[in-house]
Amino acid sequence: MVKILNKEVQNYINANLNADLHTLLLKKSPFPEVSMQEIVQQIKGKQVAERKFPFLLKEGILFPPQLSLEQSSSEKTALYKSEILKGKKFIDLTSGFGIDAYYLSQDFKDITLIEQNAELLKIVEYNWNVLSRNARFINRKLEDFLNENQEHFDVVYLDPARRDQNKNKVFLLEDLSPNILEIREKLLSISNQVVIKLSPLIDIKYLVSVLPQIFRIDIVALKNDVKEIVIFLSDENKKEIICNCVNLESGEPAFTFVFGEEENAVSEYDEPEKFIYIPNNSILKAGIFNLISAKFGLKKLHPNTHIYTSGERITNFPGRILEMESIDSKGVKKKEQYNIISKNHPLKPEDIKKKYGLKDGGEKYLIFTQSKKGKIILKSV
C-alpha cells in the first residue's frame, strides 16, 4: 500500500490517466516494487471517481479493484440519503468502499463500519484518515457481528450483495447476501430505523408484501436513470408507507405519495392537446400511472401509453413538458434532427431513424406513440 503512494509512482499514474489500459497492462512496470496491475487499478479508480465520487480525487487516496468501484454508490445518491438521516450512532454493516458510509454518517458522532473483506477495509480506513474522518473499522462477517453485538444504534444501514455464488445478479430479498428476510428481526432489535439500499429492478409491490416493517420507500434516479430503491424499516406501527420519487440533477420536483393510492386513482383519456407530459423514470418505476393523471389534472393518451396531455401548461410536473402538435407521416422530413421517443409503438427509435432518414439529437422532439384512436406522431412546435 505504501509503495503505490511513492511520488514517482503517483506521477506516473497521473500522467497515464487517459492511456489505453489494455496496452498499458502489456508493458513492464517501470517500478520494481509496484506491478503494472496495481498501477492500472489506481488509474481505473481515478477514472471512476471522476464521474461517480469526485471528492476522492485528492492526493493520497487509494482505490480498490474494479468490482468494488462498480458496486459503490455515486456521490450524488449518497449525498441525497445523507440529508435524510440524523442521529448520534450510525453503523454500516456492509461498508464496501465506504462511499455511502462517508456521506450518511456525516451528521453522526459515533460511526462504525463493518466489512468482511480485510484488504478493502484497510483501504477504506486509510482513505478516511486522509480525509480526516473518524470511525471504528471492524473486519467481520455481518452475521457474526450481529450475533455478538450488544450495542444499539440510531441508524443501521446496509447494501446487500446482489450477486450469487456464480456472480449472477439476484433481486429477491431471500437471495441477497445477507438474506434480508432472515436477519430483519435482528436488525430491528439493534435500531429503531434500518435503511437498506436495493437494486433499481426490484418490484415495489413485492417489497411491501414480504416486509411489513417498511414505512418509507425512496425511488432514486440520477439524470433520469433509476439507480437504487431505498427502503426504511421500523418496528413502530406505521399505518401508511410514504413513497418518494426523486430525479437528482434534473431540476424536476420530487413527488411523494402514499403506497396504495394508485389503486383508487382513475385516469381520463383524450387525444393530444397543446402540452405533452412525459413522467421521469422514478415515476414510471413507481407504477403510479393513474395517480399522476389524477394529481395533476392531466389526461392520458392510452391505457398503455404513459404520456399525458393538457391544453394549458401545468407546473411542478416530475418529468418533461413539451409543446407539441400532431402530424402525419408526411410531416416527418428526412435528414432533420430530432430527439426520437417511442412509447407503446411497434417501431423502436433506431427503426424510426432508418425508416424516415432522421438524425438523432438537437432540441426538437418527435414522439411515436398511440392514443385510443391508434398510432400517432407528435412533433415539437
Contact (CB, 8 A) for 234 and 256: no
The pLDDT tens digits along the chain (381 residues) read 678 999 999 999 999 999 999 999 999 999 999 999 999 999 999 999 999 999 999 999 999 998 899 889 999 999 999 999 999 999 999 999 999 999 999 999 999 999 999 999 999 999 999 999 999 999 999 999 999 999 999 999 999 987 666 567 777 899 898 999 999 999 999 999 999 999 999 999 999 999 999 999 999 999 999 999 999 999 887 889 999 999 999 999 999 999 999 999 999 999 999 999 999 999 999 999 999 999 999 999 999 999 999 999 999 999 999 999 999 988 898 888 999 999 999 999 999 999 999 988 888 999 999 999 999 999 999
pTM given for the model:
0.93
> What stretch of H or E contains 8?
helix 7-15
**What was the pLDDT predicted at 64?**
95
**What was the pLDDT predicted at 105?**
94
**What was the pLDDT predicted at 165?**
63
| Closest to 58 measured CA to CA, from 45, 77, 71, 73 | 45
DSSP string, 47-113: HHHHHH-GGG-STT-----HHHHHHSPPHHHHHHHHTT---SEEEETT-TTSHHHHHHTTT-SEEEE
> Cα torsion at 374, 316, 292, 313 (round to 10°)?
-30
**What was the pLDDT predicted at 166?**
57
With residues binned 3-state (H G I as helix, E B as strand, rest as coil), the percentages for the chain, rounded to 5, are 35, 30, 40
DSSP string, 195-212: EEEE-TTS-HHHHHHH-T
Is 70-258 assigned to CATH 3.40.50.150?
yes
| Burial of 62 from C-beta contacts in 10 A (0-12 / 13-18 / 19+) | middle
Q: Report residue 312: phi and psi, to 5°.
A: -115, 145
Residues 149 and 311: their CA atoms lie apart, in Å, by 60
Residue holding cell 468494488? Answer: 68
Domain ranges of the chain: 3-63, 70-258, 263-380
- C-alpha separations of 260 from 97, 106, 236, 253 in Å: 36, 34, 20, 21
